[in-house]
Amino acid sequence: MGKPLLIVESPTKAKTLTKYLKDAYVVKASKGHIKDLPENRLGVDIENGFRAEYQIISGKKKIVEDLRKSARNAESVLLGPDPDREGEAIAWHIAEEISRNGSSKKRPPVYRVLFYELTQKGITEALKTPGPLNRHLYEAQQARRILDRLVGYLISPILWRKVKTGLSAGRVQSVALRLVCEREREIFAFRPEEYWTVDALFSKQDDDRSFKARLVQCYGERRCDLSSEAEANKIIELLKDRFYVVKDVKQKKQKQNPPPPFITSTLQQDASRRLKFSPRKTMQIAQQLYEGVELPDAGPVGLITYMRTDSTRLAEDAVKAVRKFIASQWGESFVPPKPNQYKVKASSQDAHEAIRPTDVFRTPDSIRPFLTHDQYLLYELIWKRFVACQMKPAEVEKTTVDIVPEGDDEFVFRATGSVVVFPGYLVLYQEATDEEASEEGDGILPPIQSGKALRMLSINGSQHFTQPPRRYTEASLIKALEDFGIGRPSTYATIVSTIQERGYVVSEKRTLRPTELGFIVNDLLVEHFPDIVDISFTAQMEAQLDEISRGNGSLMNLLKNFYDRFKPMLDDALKEMRNLRVEGILTDLECPRCKEELGTDVPLLVIRWGKTNGPIVECPRCRFKSHYERDEHGEIRLIPEKETGEVCEKCGKPMVVKQGRYGSFLACSGYPECKNTKPLSLGIPCPREGCSGELVERRSKQGKIFYGCSAYPDCSVILNRKPYARFCPKCGYPIMTKSEGRSGKKSAWVCLNKDCRYREEIEEDN
């Protein structure tokens, strides 16, 4: 018999384990899943107990054969994929394939090992306590996979037939899309209301320091609601040039508790707000930190604990270590008498502890030279949050001062200020939020006593408007999904990225806006599959999956109950869903071409999905076509054709910019009588010597934008980066591109000459 065989899913993880285990084990990597449902068919036998038809993934046959061969010679087989449902599924499928090795007498025993941190201690503890495969976790993962396959593979073809080829629906992604669409419609429906505030600048008689106060009570009322400039000016006239006194001073000490250590959702949210990382990028970098980073004299080292978790629980030895670290860095006054403990949500699976550094004494700065820029930023965030969570609360003294005109209590100005008495955890970390700073803010007030006379230095009114609900950001959408109980730590990043990749949602200024396609798909799903996109129903399904993972539920019952509810909706949609390919969606816009021709009884334009890139409106009578957009209230309006100043060489009419399948182009405004078109130039000469063409924007069949020469096919110059007419100071090449700074890096001009690639950072003021 040979050595024990340890199989994990990642080559990086295998490398880290090999470094610690040396020659005691043979370590192999499956490189992720080895089996999955077939790509081109449902792969679920509904009539025979929802049997899943798993097959070896294309390209993984050699890996599977190697694992079987290694298992035949092994003393035992230990399966160590990630400690979650997905990892359990990988382990289960590897075990199934290994079991195909000859007779059961010759097969080595198979065990499951769970690595929560890739350190000497974590690896040793995991290998000391191998156990059986967890059927309950595997069945929970299978139930989710089958549910998602039923929804995706049975609804999507209906959308292809009724709307547009290539669309998709998903059990959880469609709920996320609904949240984004409903928020956008709330914004459309919002009507801003004007209101005014009155602020005054005061100072003490013997002190030149000034501070601001806001009028909070008017005419004896507890509020001061001013709806117009006239009302504000009337009050300003009443209150200016009067003497003022301090009516009341209240001081209150408040404790500001540190935030809990990161779980998956809060890590994704904070990384989005602070580092501008997408959830997917956050998880990719966290996986690298967990699986191991090469450090000098140590080899590959796992820097953080497992990053897919919903528990704020911390290991006792980690807490002892961080308390010792805090005392050494900031003193005993920053260490709480007892370790801080945080409540674990009732819905939490609590399978393993919170995300933390594996060694708190391995500070971010000490290993910065050995990390990529993004790895350093994320490690620093995790490290600081962990240390801060075990520090004392901050103590803040908040002061509220009420000011009134002398002898008149009907009008009250209020000033607030705060002073940090003891910084506590704030010396290291402060939570980021999506909320904007308060207009008033908390300033530092001078020492002041009740009854003290004050001078009013100035008074003025400010106009404001009520604001619509905020669009979701990636961070706030993940928070909403978590609050509603939709999705789990391993799925948040995929949900958020999928609705963007499908073209249902776009990111604008870091907020999520539904596209026209997103609205259309969402409305059809809400109409015909109300349960599938119902928030509470989806949350209940997640809870039932959790019960299965705990051994308290039945996979078969869950699938049968779901399908019995799903099948009638599916049948109804096949018959009743509108065929938007044929009917389109009627708008209230009149056809401008028919209006000129007919005057009255003008047909209304219809939204259709043509062969162009995106939805268009079309006239059913004259076939007039145009792109459209929605205004701030969601009303449809035509996008006017942009004139370029060029004249059609065939008919003399103006040339206009139009959108086509492969991007923008110039077309004659006399269409359909004149069908002359030509590429839209960027106004930059082709850099190829001797070529008289110009660079134009094009779009590939896959929708990817690139830049080529207008003289194609005689000139084959192709660029993947947007060119700018700027000479390279190093080689003199006539075009450069702009590299946008990310993750703290500066933007730069980069030469597009392949033999040069000169880079010049752009100064901030440029």
Instruction: Decide if 11 contacts 28 (C-beta within 8 A).
Output: no
Helix (H) or strand (E) holding 677: strand 677-679
Whether the CB-CB separation of 497 and 277 falls below 8 Å is answered with no
Question: Phi/psi at 397 (nearest 5 deg)?
Answer: -100, 120
Residues in CB range of 437: below 8 A, 6 or more apart: none
Nearest-angstrom CA–CA distance, 531 and 568: 11
* CA separation for the pair 47, 224 (Å, rounded): 67
Element spanning 559, H or E: helix 555-576
- The phi and psi torsions of 548 (rounded to 5 degrees) equal -65, -40
Signed CA dihedral, 701, 702, 704, 706: sign only: negative
List the beta strands (DSSP E) in 80-120: 110-112
- Residue 90's H or E segment, with its range, is helix 85-98
Distance CA 63, CA 65 (A): 5
Q: Does residue 52 contact residue 142 with C-beta atoms inside 8 Å? A: yes
Report the distance separating Cα 716 and Cα 484, nearest Å: 53
Largest interatomic CA distance in the chain: 100
Q: Rounded distance, CA 658 to CA 697, Å?
A: 13
Q: Is 664 helix (H, G, I), strand (E, B) or coil?
A: strand
Residue type, 146: I
**CB atoms closer than 10 angstroms to residue 272:** 24
Helices (H), 353-486: 364-367, 373-389, 474-484
Reported as half-sphere exposure (CB side, CA atoms, 13 A), residue 5 has a value of 25
CA distance 179 to 614: 22
User: Parallel, antiparallel, or unpaired: how do β-strands 293-295 and 194-204 relate?
Assistant: unpaired
N-term to C-term CA, the chain: 69
In angstroms, the CA 709 to CA 728 distance is 20
- Quote the CA–CA distance of 271 and 278 in Å, as a whole number: 8
The phi-psi region of residue 665 (left if phi > 0; otherwise alpha if psi is between -120 and 50; otherwise beta) is: beta
d(CA 761, CA 146): 50
Residues 539, 98: Cα–Cα separation, whole Å: 36
What is the Cα gyration radius of the chain?
A: 32
Distances (CA, A) of 330 to 260, 322, 340, 368: 20, 12, 17, 22
Q: Which two tokens stand for residue 398?
A: 């908040």
Catalytic residues: 306
Cα 499 from Cα 486, distance rounded (Å): 15
CB atoms within 10 A of CB 444: 11
Question: Between 279-291 and 492-501, two packed helices, what is the crossing angle to 10 degrees?
Answer: 140
Torsion angles phi and psi, residue 240, rounded to 5 = -75, 160
CA–CA separation, 595 and 21 (whole Å): 80
